Amino acid sequence: MRKAFFALFLVLAGCGYDGGYRYECQDPANWEAPECVEPQCKVSGTCTSDIIGFDPNETITEETIVLP
């Protein structure tokens, strides 16, 4: 059992996850970068609102909250 757990640990450790972001515009430090702001990001589809599903710079009010 111990060998199986150790083997699973090695497999998962070798996956290569480095804690980074897949797209530059996912990183909050880059949200205001020129390549992450419209219209430049619309060409490549990497706008922050496209990647994370909402515009982080938009102020949320009661009218913008949509409940299922």
- Whole-angstrom distance, CA of residue 42 vs CA of residue 39: 5
Query: Around Cβ 31, how many Cβ atoms within 10 Å?
Result: 18
pLDDT at position 14: 62
Helices of type H across 1-68: 2-13, 40-44, 48-52
Q: Chunk the chain into consecutive blocks of 10 residues (it has 68) and report each block's average pLDDT, rounded to whole numbers.
A: 74 69 86 87 84 77 69
Q: Is the dihedral of CA 36, 21, 50, 29 positive or negative?
A: negative
34 Cβ neighbours under 8 A, 6+ residues apart: 40
pLDDT at position 54: 77
pTM for the whole structure: 0.50
